[in-house]
A and B are shown apart, each in its own frame.
Chain A
Amino acid sequence: MLTIAVTMLAAGTFALRFAGPALRSRVELPAAVEALLATAAVVLLTALVATASLTRDDGFAGIARPAGVLVGGVLAWRRVPFVVVVLAAATTAAGLRLLGAP
Chain B
Amino acid sequence: MYRTLDRAVVRDIALVCLADTLVGLSYGAIAVGSGFDPWVPIAMSLLVLAGASQFLFVGMVAAGASPLAAAAAGLLVNARHLPFGLAVGEAVGPGWRRVVGSHLMNDETVAFALGQREREAQRAAYWVCGVAILVAWNAGVLIGALAGTAIGDTDALGLDAAFPAVLLALVLPSLRDRGTRHAALAGAAIALAATPVAPAGLPVLLALAGLLLAGLPRVSRC
Task: Decide: B87 and A41 in contact? CB cutoff 8 A.
Answer: yes
Q: How many angstroms from the CA of A46 to the CA of B173 in the assembled complex?
A: 12
Task: Decide: A19 and B85 in contact? CB cutoff 8 A.
Answer: yes
- A85: chain B residues at CB < 8 Å are 165, 169
Residues of B within 8 A of A (CB): 8, 11-12, 15-16, 19, 40, 43-44, 47-50, 53, 57, 61, 66-68, 70-71, 74-75, 78-90, 92-94, 98-99, 101-103, 105, 107, 110-111, 114, 155-172, 174-175, 179-180, 183-185, 187-192, 195-196, 203-205, 207-208, 210-211, 215-216, 218-220, 222
- A83: chain B residues at CB < 8 Å are 11-12, 15
Number of A-B contacts (CB under 8 A): 298
Interface size on A, residues (CB 8 A): 74
Task: Decide: B195 and A58 in contact? CB cutoff 8 A.
Answer: yes
Task: Decide: B82 and A13 in contact? CB cutoff 8 A.
Answer: no
Interface residues of A: mostly helix, strand, loop or mixed? helix
Task: Decide: B48 and A6 in contact? CB cutoff 8 A.
Answer: yes
Given contacts A46-B184, A47-B207, contact A18 B99 (CB under 8 A): yes
A65: contacting residue among B47, B70, B160, CB under 8 A:
B160
B188: contacting residue among A7, A36, A49, CB under 8 A:
A49
Looking at the assembled complex, report how far the CB atom of A54 sits from the nearest CB atom of chain B, in whole angstroms. 6
Looking at the assembled complex, report how far the CB atom of A16 sits from the nearest CB atom of chain B, in whole angstroms. 5
A24: contacting residue among B61, B78, B85, B174, CB under 8 A:
B85
Task: Decide: A20 and B75 in contact? CB cutoff 8 A.
Answer: no
Looking at the assembled complex, report how far the CB atom of A41 sits from the nearest CB atom of chain B, in whole angstroms. 4
Task: Decide: B207 and A44 in contact? CB cutoff 8 A.
Answer: yes
Task: Decide: B222 and A69 in contact? CB cutoff 8 A.
Answer: no
